[in-house]
Structures are given as structure tokens and as C-alpha cells.
């Protein structure tokens, strides 16, 4: 049952805290108003937003979560970075006030393990500062940015946990489907009028992510608002799995079946070959627990349909055909020949092999602790990220960092399997855990040829969903909870 934590007596320090904040805020406003009116306006807007955040916590948090999918393309303006830093600061402020008011802060064991793992990554910052890694302290800024980027995932998990007992799990999950609206709308415009959109939204504009640059031209690939087509693919992949879950929950399956077909169309239009590998993992995991002939046939038809759509374009045919010109499928070609050919054949597989070979050579120079977080691009000869997250982990963290990375991936799967088993008496929660488990099992496969670890927004949403999966879905919500109006806005059926 739900426990009303706000009934606990407030901390005796709360009035003092409010008084101190009021005095400091008044002095700051007085000093700024006479010199920088614009800054005063920004401060007043920030104070109004923070006040709204505390008064309408669930509404603002859901709005921020939905907004996150619409700003990734503005990396050149630093909007995703500012959003992440602001959300981290806002969450810490909220938890501080909760602690002063002696209200419960919701956590679980996975959060503490997640936080501990993130703190352990700080070891590489210390080692770099004292010259214990392959790169010196001059690259500490790059490592610090990477460390803070990962913190945003921890914060997303913790922030979602604070809505436990205040809103129905399915209401929040359904609400986050609205985050698809802006990316898909932009993707449609990129197909219909590719040159009409401004700035980085323009289909033919240069990617905001440096890692998108490659030795060969990949043609026009839609990316919605996510800055890079590969990031768009993983985002769509996540919601394809969740749409399949919701499709099973709804009696009227027409709308959700149409949405799944639409997502599959965009999934193919992003033209990422590794997406086929992820789909080959997703489908068996989803149908395995309740395997039937009908589900098996449906899964095979869906997979064949996606491959057919991918191969129906000239670009798709070229990508599929390029595999035969690599050591993977050509027994007459060894690694050395592939490396030599990579300098002029524009085969993305061969230049990946050349890059991995070079990076593994660098790893052998500093095998135990590597070069430092977020710096693999600095030691790559082609100024690109490794396009293999396992090699990235080896180069940046050495053997110790690689073991830490693998343990992190395994622990997520262990956690979701635990939740899946524990939800045996609650079908929707059990199926939701299975949908997330399928995603987390497919991502390690994609990490073999892609920089999945850099897809910040993907993990931002995944850890939000993972936190929700750990709630008690049978827990009752008080009648005065704001989840009722929230449900009317975000989802037709809050249950």
C-alpha cells in the first residue's frame, strides 16, 4: 500500500534553510538588477521554473522527459549538455529539499550499484590527473565530460524513482510515447522536403556529431531530431520493442499495429546495417517465453519484411553486398589485405577493421588502465570513435576498465531477469521487463560495430524505463494524487 511520507514532521532546519535561501536570493537580485537586467530576467525565470518544479513535480518531470527527444540535434548549441547539467542540478536540489523535510527518497539496490559503478569510473580521472594513464592531465576535461555524461543516466534513474507511488507505472510509460512526436515529425519532413528544414535538422546538413563523419559517403539518411542516423535507429528500436509490448496490452490493436509499422519504416530509412543484427536478437527474446507457431511465423515475417525494405534501396544493396568484400564472408581475404584495401575501397567494414587494428596496438602500450575516459577518438588515426564499444572500453580503461564495462552490461541483464521473474503474477509488468530485457540483450550485439555507448539519449530513456520496471505495479495510488489528471493528459487508460 502507498505510504504518505509527507505526514512526517518537517525538519527543524527547514525554516532556516528557507530563510537563508531568501536572504541570498534577495541580495543577488538586488545586485544584478542595477547592472544586468537581462540576467535578472533569466534569474526570475529560473526561480519561477524551480517553484513550478516543486509544486507540480510529476507534470514538470514528465514534460522534461518528453522534451529530451526534441533537442539532441542542437548539439552545436550545447542544448543537450545544458539540459543534462540543468536536470542533474534540479534533481540534486529536489532531493536535498526532500531530505531536509524528512521525506522518503526512493531508491533500490540497482540504483546503489549503478551509483557505485559510476563513482568507480572516477578512478580514471584521478589516475589521469596524476599521470598514471596513456594520456596526460591535459585531456582531463574530455574525461570529466564523459564522467558527467554518464551521471545523467544515474540521475534519470533516480528521478524516475521519485515518482514511485505518485503516478501509475503504465500512465508514465504511455506518456513517454509522446516523445516520439517531434522526432518522427521531423523525420517525415526530412523525407518529404529534405532541404526545407533549418540548421542541423536539414537532411543534407553536416552531422552535429563528429563521429558521424566517415571515409565514405552514405547518402541521405534520416535522423529526426537525434543529430545522427545511428542514434535515431537505436531510439526507434527501443520504442519498437515498447510498442510491441503496448500492442499486447490494448484491445484495439489497429493504432498500435500501425505505429509499429511506421516505426519499422523509419528504422529501415535510417539505413544502419547493424540494426538488422539488433532485430535478429529482439524478436527471439520477445517470443521465446510464450513460443507458439503463430508468434514464430509473425516474427519471421516481420524480420523478412524489414530486410526486404532495407535491401530494396540502392544504398541498402550496396551495404549488404559490401559484407562479401570483407574477411567476414570472403575466405580469400585476410585482415592485412582488408586494412590495405580500406584506404581506397570505401568499405565501412574494412576501414573499421583497420581502425580496430590500430587501436588494439595502442592498447598494448598501456594495457591495464588505458588512456582515460572519452579519449579514444584522440588516439585514433582517422579522428573517429572506435565503432566498437568493447575496443573503446579496452583502449580507454585497459583490462580493468574492460572488466568493469562487461560487468555493467551483465548487471543490467541480471536486474531485468530478476524483475521479470518477480513479476510472475502481474502480466503487464512481466511483459514490460521482457521488452526491456530484449533491448538490453540486443545492444551488446550492436556494440560490436557501432558506438552505442555514445547514444546518450537512448540510455537516458532506457534507465528511466528500467526504474519504472522496478516499481510495485500493484501499489495503490491515493485519490488526491496528481496521477489522475496526468493520466487524462498523457494516456487514455492509466491502468
| 219 has a pLDDT exceeding 60 | no
pLDDT at residue 36, rounded to an integer: 52
286, 260 contact by CB (below 8 A): no
Residue 93 has a pLDDT of 87
In whole angstroms, give the CA distance from residue 162 to residue 164: 5
Go through 58-82 and write b for each residue having 16 or more CB atoms within 10 A of its CB, e for each that does not: bbbbbbbbbebbbbbbbbeeeebbe
> Is residue 255 classed exposed, middle or buried when 0-12, 13-18 and 19+ CB atoms within 10 A define those classes?
exposed
In this prediction, residue 218 carries a pLDDT of: 46
Question: How far is Cα 180 from Cα 188, in angstroms, rounded to an integer?
Answer: 12
Q: What nine digits make up the cell of 470? A: 522496478
DSSP string, 246-311: HHHH-S--HHHHHHHHHHHHHHHHT--THHHHHHHHHHHHHHSTT--HHHHHHHHHHHHHHHHHHH
More confident residue, 33 or 306: 306
pLDDT digits (tens, 9 = 90+) for 374-399: 999 988 888 888 899 999 999 999 99
Is the pLDDT assigned to residue 22 strictly greater than 60?
no
Please provide residue 388's backbone torsions phi and psi, each rounded to the nearest 5 degrees.
-165, 110
Q: What pTM was estimated for this model as a whole? A: 0.83
Q: What is the mean pLDDT of the chain?
A: 79
User: What local confidence, expressed as pLDDT, does residue 76 receive?
Assistant: 72
Quick one: DSSP state of residue 452? G
Residue 205: other Cβ atoms inside 10 A: 15
CA distance 402 to 187: 36
Instruction: Report how far residue 397's alpha carbon sits from residue 369's, in angstroms, rounded to the nearest whole number.
Output: 5
240 vs 2, which has greater pLDDT?
240
**Residue 472 Ramachandran class (φ > 0 left, ψ -120 to 50 alpha, else beta):** beta
What mean pLDDT comes out for the span 285-314?
72
pLDDT digits (tens, 9 = 90+) for 68-119: 888 887 777 788 888 888 888 888 888 988 888 888 889 999 999 999 999 9
Segment 225-253, tens digit of pLDDT = 887 888 899 999 999 999 999 988 877 78
Q: Residue 203's pLDDT is what?
A: 67
Band of residue 221 on the pLDDT scale cut at 50, 70, 90: confident
Q: pLDDT tens-digit profile of 238-294? A: 999 999 999 888 777 888 889 998 998 888 888 777 888 888 888 888 887 776 666
User: What is the predicted pLDDT for the residue at 338?
Assistant: 62
Give mean pLDDT, residues 445-466: 93
The C-alpha atoms of residue 311 and residue 302 are separated, in whole angstroms, by 14
342 has a pLDDT exceeding 70: no
Alpha helices in 272-424 (DSSP H): 274-287, 293-311, 314-322, 335-341, 348-363, 376-379, 389-422
Taking a C-beta distance cutoff of 8 angstroms, is the pair 49, 87 a contact? no
Identify the pLDDT of residue 6.
42
Q: Using CA atoms, how far apart are residues 91 and 462, in angstroms rounded to an integer?
A: 18
Domains of the chain, residue spans: 170-469
C-alpha atoms less than 13 angstroms from C-alpha of 75 in its C-beta half-sphere: 17
- What single DSSP character describes residue 227? S
Contacts (Cβ under 8 Å, ≥6 apart) of 1: 475, 476
- Grid cell digits, residue 340: 590495405
Amino acid at each position: 500500500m502507498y505510504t504518505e511520507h509527507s505526514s512526517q514532521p518537517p525538519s527543524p532546519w527547514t525554516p532556516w534553510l528557507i530563510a537563508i535561501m531568501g536572504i541570498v536570493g534577495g541580495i543577488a537580485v538586488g545586485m544584478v538588477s542595477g547592472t544586468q537586467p537581462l540576467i535578472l530576467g533569466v534569474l526570475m525565470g529560473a526561480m519561477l521554473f524551480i517553484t513550478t518544479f516543486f509544486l507540480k513535480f510529476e507534470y514538470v518531470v514528465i514534460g522534461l522527459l518528453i522534451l529530451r527527444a526534441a533537442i539532441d540535434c542542437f548539439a552545436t548549441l550545447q542544448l543537450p549538455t545544458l539540459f543534462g547539467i540543468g536536470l542533474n542540478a534540479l534533481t540534486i536540489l529536489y532531493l536535498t529539499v526532500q531530505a531536509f523535510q524528512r521525506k522518503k527518497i526512493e531508491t533500490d539496490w540497482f540504483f546503489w550499484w549503478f551509483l557505485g559503478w559510476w563513482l568507480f569510473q572516477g578512478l580514471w580521472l584521478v589516475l589521469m590527473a596524476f599521470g598514471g594513464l596513456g594520456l596526460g592531465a591535459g585531456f582531463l576535461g574530455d574525461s570529466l565530460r564523459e564522467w558527467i555524461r554518464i551521471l545523467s543516466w544515474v540521475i534519470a534513474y533516480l528521478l524516475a524513482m521519485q515518482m514511485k507511488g505518485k503516478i501509475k507505472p503504465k500512465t508514465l510509460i504511455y506518456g513517454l510515447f509522446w516523445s516520439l512526436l517531434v522526432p518522427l515529425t521531423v523525420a517525415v519532413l526530412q523525407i518529404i522536403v529534405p532541404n526545407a528544414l533549418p540548421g542541423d535538422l536539414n537532411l543534407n546538413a553536416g552531422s552535429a556529431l563528429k563521429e558521424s563523419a566517415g571515409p565514405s559517403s552514405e547518402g541521405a539518411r534520416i535522423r529526426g531530431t537525434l543529430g545522427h542516423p545511428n542514434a535515431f535507429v537505436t531510439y526507434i528500436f527501443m520504442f519498437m520493442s515498447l510498442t510491441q509490448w503496448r500492442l499486447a496490452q490494448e484491445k484495439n490493436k489497429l493504432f498500435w499495429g500501425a505505429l509499429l509499422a511506421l516505426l519499422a519504416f523509419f528504422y529501415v530509412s535510417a539505413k544502419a546495417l547493424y540494426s538488422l543484427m539488433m532485430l535478429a536478437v529482439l524478436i527471439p527474446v520477445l517470443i521465446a517465453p510464450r513460443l507458439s507457431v503463430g508468434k514464430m511465423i509473425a516474427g519471421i515475417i516481420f524480420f523478412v519484411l524489414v530486410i526486404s525494405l532495407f535491401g530494396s534501396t540502392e544504398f541498402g544493396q550496396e551495404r549488404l553486398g559490401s559484407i562479401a568484400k570483407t574477411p567476414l564472408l570472403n575466405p580469400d581475404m585476410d585482415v592485412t589485405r582488408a586494412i590495405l584495401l580500406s584506404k581506397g575501397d570505401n568499405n565501412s567494414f574494412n576501414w573499421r577493421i583497420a581502425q580496430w587494428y590500430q587501436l588494439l596496438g595502442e592498447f598494448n602500450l598501456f594495457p591495464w588502465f588505458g588512456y582515460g575516459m572519452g579519449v579514444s577518438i584522440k588516439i585514433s588515426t582517422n579522428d573517429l570513435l572506435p565503432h566498437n564499444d568493447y575496443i573503446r572500453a579496452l583502449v580507454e580503461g585497459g583490462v580493468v576498465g574492460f572488466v568493469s564495462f562487461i560487468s555493467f552490461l551483465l548487471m543490467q541483464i541480471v536486474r531485468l531477469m530478476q524483475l521479470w521473474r518477480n513479476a510472475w503474477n502481474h502480466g503487464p509488468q512481466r511483459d514490460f521487463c521482457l521488452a526491456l530485457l530484449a533491448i538490453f540483450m540486443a545492444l551488446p550485439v550492436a556494440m560490436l560495430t557501432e558506438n552505442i555507448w555514445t547514444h546518450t539519449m537512448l540510455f537516458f530513456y532506457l534507465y528511466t524505463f528500467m526504474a519504472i520496471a522496478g516499481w510495485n505495479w500493484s501499489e495503490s495510488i491515493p485519490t488526491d494524487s496528481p496521477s489522475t489528471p496526468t493520466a487524462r493528459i498523457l494516456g487514455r487508460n492509466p491502468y
